[in-house]
Amino acid sequence: MPRPPGHGPGYEIKRQEIIDKAAALFAKKGYAATGIAEVGDVAGLARGALYYYIGSKENLLVEIQDRVMRPMLASVHRIAGLEEEPVLRLRMLSQTLLENILARLDHVWVYEHDYRNLHGDNRARLLRQRREFENIVQELLVAAMDDGSFRKLDPRLATLQFLNLHNHTYQWVRTDGEWDAEYLSRAYCATLFRGFAGPGRQFDDIEDRMRAYLAQRVTPGPLPRTGEE
Amino acid sequence: MPRPPGHGPGYEIKRQEIIDKAAALFAKKGYAATGIAEVGDVAGLARGALYYYIGSKENLLVEIQDRVMRPMLASVHRIAGLEEEPVLRLRMLSQTLLENILARLDHVWVYEHDYRNLHGDNRARLLRQRREFENIVQELLVAAMDDGSFRKLDPRLATLQFLNLHNHTYQWVRTDGEWDAEYLSRAYCATLFRGFAGPGRQFDDIEDRMRAYLAQRVTPGPLPRTGEE
Amino acid sequence: MPRPPGHGPGYEIKRQEIIDKAAALFAKKGYAATGIAEVGDVAGLARGALYYYIGSKENLLVEIQDRVMRPMLASVHRIAGLEEEPVLRLRMLSQTLLENILARLDHVWVYEHDYRNLHGDNRARLLRQRREFENIVQELLVAAMDDGSFRKLDPRLATLQFLNLHNHTYQWVRTDGEWDAEYLSRAYCATLFRGFAGPGRQFDDIEDRMRAYLAQRVTPGPLPRTGEE
Amino acid sequence: MPRPPGHGPGYEIKRQEIIDKAAALFAKKGYAATGIAEVGDVAGLARGALYYYIGSKENLLVEIQDRVMRPMLASVHRIAGLEEEPVLRLRMLSQTLLENILARLDHVWVYEHDYRNLHGDNRARLLRQRREFENIVQELLVAAMDDGSFRKLDPRLATLQFLNLHNHTYQWVRTDGEWDAEYLSRAYCATLFRGFAGPGRQFDDIEDRMRAYLAQRVTPGPLPRTGEE
DNA sequence: TATGAATGAGACTTCATTCAT
DNA sequence: GATGAATGAAGTCTCATTCAT
């Protein structure tokens, strides 16, 4: 998203650094309570130079939101489109979601807390993306009900339970801790899948199939992100 | 928490009204983005008179937090002290928690979003109360593991799952909607208790026992709050 | 034009004082080159208090324009509606126009110079008022041509000559000087009426009739303004 | 007015282009409201290069003023020095004045509007030149009174009427329109000369003599400018 | 109790200018 | 000749708070 024409090669790099540092500040103190001067301080830039890179304070917020939502949506779309059974896709989606949260914890904090400071189109776009995300989750849950994996639940309420459990994680999780995305995802899904299970259904093999799926992929490792970064 | 000495009889009433209206504003626009002038406007009071009642803007935030935390802790302490088995007490606690959230939705929104604007002692007290609350939940969950109701889970992670599921509700719940605290509590606990269940355990009778408990009480009706208001 | 509800009796008075002083400053240095801090200095008010009265810098400009245009249009409409012959009405209009210019010389300076700093509706309204004013002048000139007082001229160009001659006066006139509105109006009209005169027409009696008209009025003195001030 | 020593051949050309474009911008938005960045944009130059050519923003204003005043004064001095009768010289001067205004309409706009942004010597020089110009006009008018062409008028007020009529033209004239300098000059002088005429004087032949004078000149066409460009 | 007026710090943003490369 | 990056002062405006009445 380069701004005015005619910027040197270092421009975009420095710009991304500034956004990084701003996200950390906003996460710690809140967007509204953080002054642009503080952003300049941590970026080592005078106010004027700062604006050369960021355009406006709200624009900084937009960029942070984008960094959260763009890769998240990309991952989730990819997973939803896989030819696997719904419960496995939910397990994958859970892990991707947590990976994204953990990877950019301060961005997510800002994303969850300060979107009310967006105005006009920026705000509308954000809300649209949120709904898009929720719809995908809901469709997978309904698919799992339809194939008998889950009992018949109110789809909306089931979706909200799924999201409550995952999204609230940013409030307390520590990236330096013992828990990583995979561990949390296993725990959450263990609870949710048993809790949602249809009569006689169990999902003892879901972790095996998860491993199998990942092993079959050319590049073993964490679930790849599709995002641009 | 009466402030300066020597106030007429209407003082406390008006004060509570102001806090009500401030909470609504803060919930809608965020604490930092709401001006004290707006509070005055909706309260129908000029700036000077407003300060006569509220002391300071941060104090308003403290009061709102108190209104959430005080009755919540009181209810939870009462329930934790009942002579019922842990799973039933968790079911009660879940409902009380949701009742409190729904009863003061905008207060809860402020409570969850804007506590970072508290400073010094106010902040410390808040964090202490949060931990106190979480500990009670955790003790109940451990008790349920100990009596075999739940499988052996990481107690901390089990607690956080319980809290994620309940606390994130404020983000989307509507008080005018079809879902009340009882309905949500039944749904959440159905998921959690099945998800946490120890081998061979089921909780098909938990709702009956909930009803039985409530019926035996002198005053039927919603779980009583202990709070001051 | 009282602003927010609930202002004391002195509010409007002080507000008008501020506008006075701002007009003087803007006239001397130009609107864009004058800082709001300077306005505060000459008004003896800190920045905050200043904004309590003015709302915004552009609003100050709007008020100044209004002070020029409102009474001007009112006078001119009144004169145009009189049952006197066109040339006499033009003579009256000339004097009123100059009286308005001399009465608020610095306002007029701002009005002529800085209207480009108005935006949106404010600008549109100003341009509308200017056209309205010019149309009245043009109609009177055409009426004078129709009754044979003036020769057949291009109406638009005649109007512009009339306005050039009068409006540019603000550039050099001094209110402390020997020339008042009546003197200037006599001189300008002497030039214009001879210059525009139809064949065989002279206006030697126009000053007598002007005096007669004024004498006949109940309150002798300067042409009354209709404006609110 | 070449600036730093040692410039290539294209320097002055590019410099003049920049001044052209700056004048257009200043005329449209006002000097104070136009940023140096905008000048750079329309000139296709980055900030650094721009300053290589212009020195400073105020210098740009000085150059624009010079482009108006220099050729104007030259023409006017030339005409004043002709051996023709005063009224004819005034007619010539009128046309030259209007030609200069129309030829550089945006420069004139800036000249009339933004001279208050000049400081120190630049400002003093401008005011000196304006007075010089006015004095020439006044001398011609007095000469016309002395030879009986015009009646006895206050010389200063006659001068100001002459200048009002001509100088205010920049406010509304369009170069694409039907009116050119010659047409306007004829109309203005028709008004002024009849308006100023001494007893029994008429100037029916002034346009013929104007044509005759121009025809006699080697190079027929518009009044030549003496200016450097 | 209540008010309108005042404050002053600090918010975000723009701008003319400079300079190493 | 030309560029992009950086500066710092100054610009407009907001806001929590105080206080005489």
Q: What is the CA radius of gyration of chain B?
A: 20
Do residues D118 and D58 make contact, with C-beta atoms less than 8 angstroms apart? yes
- Whether residue C223 is contained in a domain is answered as no
Cα distances (angstroms) measured from residue D179 to each of A71, B98, C156: 63, 80, 11
Chain segment B153-183, per-residue pLDDT in tens = 999 999 999 999 999 999 999 999 899 999 9
Tell me how crowded residue D79 is: count the other CB atoms within 10 A of its CB.
22
Residue numbers in B near A166 (CB within 8 A): 164
Say how far B129 CA is from E9 C1', in Å: 34
For residue range A147-164, what is the model confidence (pLDDT) as tens digits?
Answer: 999 999 999 999 999 999
- Residue D218: per-residue pLDDT: 56
Judged against a pLDDT cut of 70, whether residue A177 lies above it is answered with: yes
The last residue of one of the domains, among C55, C72, C92, is: C55
Shortest distance between the Cα of B79 and any Cα of chain A, in A, equals: 24
D94, D165, D179, D196: which to substitute to probe chain C, counting the most C Cβ within 10 Å?
A: D165
Average pLDDT estimate for C198-217: 92
- Report the SS3 class of residue A197: strand
Render pLDDT for B13-47 as a digit per residue (tens, 0 to 9): 999 999 999 999 999 999 999 999 999 999 999 99
Do C12 and C92 have their domain in common?
Answer: no
When the pLDDT of each residue in chain B is averaged and rounded to a whole number, the result is: 91
Q: Which of A136, A6, A10 is nearest to A75 (CA)?
A: A136
Neighbours of A224 (CB within 10 A): 12
pLDDT of B177 reads: 84
CATH number of the domain at D71, please: 1.10.357.10
Please tell me whether residues D47 and D150 are part of one structural domain: no
Radius of gyration for the alpha carbons in chain C, expressed in angstroms and rounded: 20
**Is residue A80 within 8 Å of A89, Cβ to Cβ?**
yes
Beta bridge partners of C197: C150
Distance CA C27, CA C94 (A): 23
Residue of B168, B173, B180, B189 to mutate when probing chain A, most A C-beta within 10 A: B168
Residues B39, B92, single domain; the answer is no
The band of C170, judged by pLDDT with boundaries at 50, 70 and 90, is very high
**Pair (D92, D178) in one structural domain:** yes
Å from A158 (CA) to F1 (C1')? 67
- On whether any CB of chain D is under 8 Å from the CB of C157, the answer is yes
- List bases in chain F with any atom under 7 Å of a protein Cβ: 1-20
Q: Is A117 on the interface with B (CB under 8 A)?
A: yes
User: What is the predicted pLDDT for the residue at A131?
Assistant: 96
Domain for residue B225, yes or no?
no
In a domain, B174, yes or no: yes
Could you tell me if residue B42 is inside a domain?
yes
Q: What is the pLDDT of residues A180-192, one digit of tens each?
A: 999 999 999 999 9
> Is there an interface between A and C (3+ Cβ pairs < 8 A)?
no
Are C39 and C96 found together in one domain?
A: no
What does DSSP assign to residue A223?
A: P
Task: Return the partners of chain B (3 or more C-beta pairs < 8 Å).
Answer: A
Q: Quick one: pLDDT at residue C216?
A: 82
Interface size C-D, in CB pairs within 8 Å, comes to 82
Check if B192 contacts A (Cβ < 8 Å).
Answer: yes
Closest nucleotide to C55's CA, by C1' atom? F13
A40 with A92, same domain: the answer is no
Closest CA to D166 of D196, D136, D139, D189: D189
CATH code where residue A21 lies = 1.10.10.60
Tokens coding C139: 């109609």
CB within 8 Å: C32 and D29 = no
What single letter denotes the amino acid at residue A55?
Answer: G
Question: Which is nearest to D190 in space by CA: C182, B97, C153?
Answer: C153
D37 and D147 co-located in one domain: no
End position of a domain, from candidates D16, D34, D55: D55
- Do D2 and D103 lie in one domain? The reply is no
Q: Cα angle at C31 between D167 and D32, to 5 degrees?
A: 80
Q: Which nucleotide is nearest to C50 (CA to C1')?
A: E6
CA–CA distance, D197 with D182 (Å, rounded to integer): 21
Position B5 confidence tier, pLDDT thresholds 50, 70, 90: low
Residue A182 inside a domain? The answer is yes
Structure tokens belonging to residue A151: 């009992």
Distance CA D136, CA D96 (A): 14
* D29, D107: one domain: no
What domain range includes position A140?
Answer: 57-216
Q: Are residues D155 and D189 in the same domain?
A: yes
User: What is the predicted pLDDT for the residue at C1?
Assistant: 38
Average pLDDT of the residues in C162-181: 95
Q: Which pLDDT belongs to residue D3?
A: 46
Name the protein residue, with chain letter, whose CA is nearest the C1' of F11. C35
In this complex, which residue's CA is closest to the C1' atom of nucleotide E6?
A: C49
Measured in residues, chain D has a length of 229
Look at chain C and report how many structural domains it folds into.
2
* B142 has pLDDT over 50: yes
CB C136 within 8 A of CB C80: yes
Assign C112 to helix, strand or coil. helix
Give me the CA B50–C1' E2 separation in Å, rounded.
9
The band of B221, judged by pLDDT with boundaries at 50, 70 and 90, is: low
Judgement on whether residues D134 and D185 belong to the same structural domain of the protein: yes
What number of other Cβ atoms are within 10 A of residue A40's Cβ? 20
Residues constituting chain C: 229
Q: Could you tell me if residue B148 is inside a domain?
A: yes
Tokens coding A97? 């979601």
| Stretch 193-212 of chain C: residues touching chain D, C-beta under 8 Å | 193-197
Q: Does C154 touch chain D (CB under 8 A)?
A: yes
Residue B10 binned pLDDT confidence (cut-offs 50, 70, 90): confident
Q: Is A84 in the same domain as A179?
A: yes
User: D94-116 burial by CB neighbour count: b if 16+ within 10 A, else e?
Assistant: bbbbbbbbbbbbbbbbbbbbbbe
Q: Do A30 and B116 touch (CB under 8 A)?
A: yes
List % helix, strand, coil for chain D (3-state, nearest 5): 70, 0, 30
Closest by Cα among D93, D94, D89 to D76 = D93
Q: With CB atoms and an 8 Å threshold, state whether B157 touches A187.
A: yes
Mean pLDDT over each residue of chain C, to the nearest integer? 92
What is the H or E stretch that residue D199 is in? none
Touch criterion met for D and C (3+ Cβ pairs within 8 Å) = yes
Nucleotide in closest CA–C1' contact with C58 = F12
Considering only CB atoms, B32 lies closest to which of A30, A167, A188, namely A30
Average pLDDT over residues A38-65: 96
The protein footprint on chain E, as nucleotides within 7 A of a CB, is 1-20
In angstroms, the CA D62 to CA A163 distance is 66
Whether B82 is in a domain gets the answer yes
Surface-to-core class of residue A104, CB atoms within 10 Å of its CB (0-12 exposed, 13-18 middle, 19+ buried)? buried
Print pLDDT tens along chain D (229 aa): 444 556 788 899 999 999 999 999 999 999 999 999 999 999 999 999 999 999 999 999 999 999 999 999 999 999 999 999 999 999 999 999 999 999 999 999 999 999 889 998 999 999 999 999 999 999 999 999 999 999 999 999 999 999 999 999 999 999 998 899 999 999 999 999 999 999 999 999 999 999 999 888 755 455 555 444 3
Which of C57, C127, C160, C172 best tests the D interface by mutation, with the highest count of D CBs <10 A? C160
Indicate whether D227 belongs to any domain.
no
SS (H, E, C) A140-161: HHHHHHHCCCECCCCHHHHHHH
**Residue with CA nearest F10 C1'?**
C35
